[in-house]
Amino acid sequence: MKQIFLLVALAAVAGVVAVTVYTSRVTAQQATPVFVTQIPTGYRDWRFISVAHEEGSLHSIGAVLGNDVAIKAYREGTLPFPDGTIIAALHYQHVPSEENNRIFGRQQSFVPGQPTNIQFMVKDSTKYAATGGWGFGHFADGKPGAEAAMKTCFPCHAREKARDLVFTRYAP
């Protein structure tokens, strides 16, 4: 009898500990955003989603590429994007092409200059629960962005709720 009581008591303690650990982990996850700190492999071979040109303070031209999960979801109109989706934005300086303009005989052509950064959105609804299921990544010269800057990604993307926080539409 005494042994059974001890066993039940131990099990109860273990249960409380487990629940506490789980709860605090979930709470921590929801409270503290987790960012993408490693560049996803193979992104330069991914397929084309769209292009983008940003003025304002950016003066950038970029390409948005997607892994297979992303491309399938875009083409089928799947929303929200499924876990495993990765969207990459390759940004470059938006510069005039003097060599092209010489050939065209007029100021016409703008092309990618130096790469400025590569940004990623990685969908994992568990890992990135605190930021709408998306992990945000920003890499300049291969190095991840500072935490203060990274915290600005989600609040802005969150304004695009209707398209699961993704600004870029698929170009036909």
> What residues make contact with its own copies under the rule CB under 8 A?
44-48, 50-56, 58, 61-63, 65, 90, 92, 94, 100, 103-104, 106-112, 115, 156, 159-160, 167-169, 171-172
- Separation of alpha carbons 24 and 65, rounded Å: 36
User: Strand, coil or helix: what is 138?
Assistant: strand
- Closest distance between its own copies and the C-beta of residue 92, in Å? 6
Choice between 110 and 144, CB closer to its own copies: 110
Q: State the residue for tokens 């131990």.
A: 10
Query: Minimal distance in Å, beta carbon 52 to its own copies?
Result: 6
Smallest gap from residue 140 Cβ to its own copies (A): 13
Angstrom distance (rounded) from CA 121 to CA 82? 12
Nearer CB in complex with its own copies: 35/74: 74
Please answer whether residues 56 and 94 qualify as being in contact, where contact means their C-beta atoms are separated by less than 8 angstroms.
Answer: no
Dist. CA 94–CA 77, nearest whole Å: 30
Q: Based on CB atoms, which residue is closest to its own copies, 127 or 151? A: 151
Comparing CB distances to its own copies, the nearer of 20 and 100 is 100
Nearest distance in Å: CB 90, its own copies: 7
Q: Which is nearer to its own copies, 34 or 111 (CB)?
A: 111
Query: Is residue 64 packed enough to be buried (19+ CB in 10 Å), middle (13-18) or exposed (0-12)?
Result: buried
CB 72, min distance to its own copies, A: 12
Q: Please classify residue 67 by burial: count the beta carbons closer than 10 Å to its beta carbon, then call 0-12 exposed, 13-18 middle and 19+ buried.
A: buried
